[in-house]
Every structure is written in C-alpha cells, then in structure tokens.
Structure 1
Amino acid sequence: MDTWLIILIVLVVLIALLLINGLLNMRNVKALPEDEFKQDMRKVQLVDLREKEKFEHGHILGARNIPMMNLSIKMGSLRKDKPIYLYDQTGRLSIRAAKMLKKKGYTDVYMLKNGISKWTGKIKSKNK
C-alpha cells in the first residue's frame, strides 16, 4: 500500500475520533441559544469561566467570575439545587467545565451556545 494512502487513512480516522469525542462531550451540557439563555438568567447561577482580566473588560450582567483554572477549587460555592449557566469566549471551556461539574453531582448545567463572542445582550464592564 502506498505510504500516502496509509497517512490519509490514519488522518481520517483521527478526525473521526475527534468529532465523536466532541459530540460525546456535548452530552454533558445543553447549549442554549442566546434568547433561551436570557430567559432565566435572573433565576440561575451565571458563571463566566474566563480569566479575571477578560471578565472585567466585559461580562454578562449578573455573572460571577470563576476562571476555569479555579473551577475545581471553587465549585463548592455553587449550589447543586439551582441551575448553572456557563459561558466563556467561544463555548469550549464551558463543555469542559460542565463535564467537571457533572462528575461532582451537578445535574442542571447549561452553556451559552458560541460563548460571549456572539452575545448581543447587555455587557457590564469595570469602566461602566
């Protein structure tokens, strides 16, 4: 068999595995579009997973900042009986965070689809 064909087959298999892994990770959290995310924001625990500097630059009103790096330490401050809404810049950290929370017994976990980068709602910043 040609070496290039073997390399191509290996690459296709790796890409398929990555896609499957991504789909399996999504089962841990329901991604909500912005309009659904906004509906219950005042009744939930709204968590911004970005670093402090990004949070201070601009975040969704009512959000508390728990950077992803600190989530395992600070997750005890989150209530298990109240929904948790997660967001970050693009949504990737939210998937990982939801997986961590689910492993620790949190069941009602949601994320902002596409993260704050696509957010059209009000933003609060330290300067405002």
Structure 2
Amino acid sequence: MRVPEVEVRDVPEDAYLLDVREQDEWVAGHAPGAVHIPMTEIQARVGEIATDRPIYVVCRVGGRSLQVAAWLNHLGHEAVNVGGGMQAWEYAKRPMVSETGLPPMVA
C-alpha cells in the first residue's frame, strides 16, 4: 500500500498533526498544537486519534511516521506521512515549542 506523503511546507497550519516520536524527543521540541502518541503506544491509543479529517503523521525523519501512516490507512483512516519529519520541520523554520524551558530543538 502506497502512503501519501507531503513536504513540511505543504502541511496546513490547522492540520491534525500526530507526532509519533518518543517522550524525550517530544519534550525537546514539537509543533504547537500537535497530538503526541509515541509509535510504541499507537495501537493501544488509536481511539484517541481524530477520524473526521486527514491525519498528518510526523516523527524525527519520516521512517516511523511512514509505518504509522500505513497502519492507520489500513484501518481506514486518511493518513499522510510528513516527509523529512521534524528535522525538515525545524530546517523549514516552521513553528516549534519546547517543554524544557529552553529553545525548541529536534532531538
């Protein structure tokens, strides 16, 4: 199954952005308004994911998010992989926040 993919610049500002990175990665820096469910918890928490709109899935560089997007599409969701992940997000200077009190970064 081919998974749709978009570049970070094409992710709408009001997108449902699902960040599947681990907790330490999330804390260091993430997109404002993103939903955080680590890939390791996705099966147990799939019921928390929006079903009424496309899901843009992001990780650090795009590998984990590709797997999660493929799985969500298999379940009938409309999931899109964010190519390049949060590294590309940071490089493109898209908004980021941190939970550490320090400037946000991709860990």
The TM-score, its normalising length taken from structure 2, stands at 0.83
Please say if 1:31 is aligned against 2:5. yes
Relative contact order, CA 8 A, sep 6+: which one is greater?
2
Gaps of 5+ in 2: 103-107
2:16 and 2:54 in contact (8 A); partners too: yes
Larger helix percent: 1
Return 5+ residue gaps in structure 1 as ranges.
1-23
* TM-score (norm: length of structure 1): 0.71
Does the Cα contact within 8 Å between 2:8 and 2:85 map onto a contact in 1?
no
What RMSD over aligned residues (CA atoms) do the two structures have, in Å?
A: 1.4
Of all paired residues, the percent bearing the same amino acid is 27
Residue equivalent to 2:87: 117
**Structure 1 segments of 4 or more deviating over 3 A?**
none
Q: Tell me how many residue pairs correspond in the alignment.
A: 98
**Looking at CA atoms only, which structure, 1 or 2, has the larger radius of gyration?**
1
- Decide whether the 8 Å contact of 1:45 with 1:83 is kept in 2: yes
Please report how far the alpha carbon of residue 104 of structure 1 lies from its aligned counterpart in structure 2 after TM superposition: 1.5
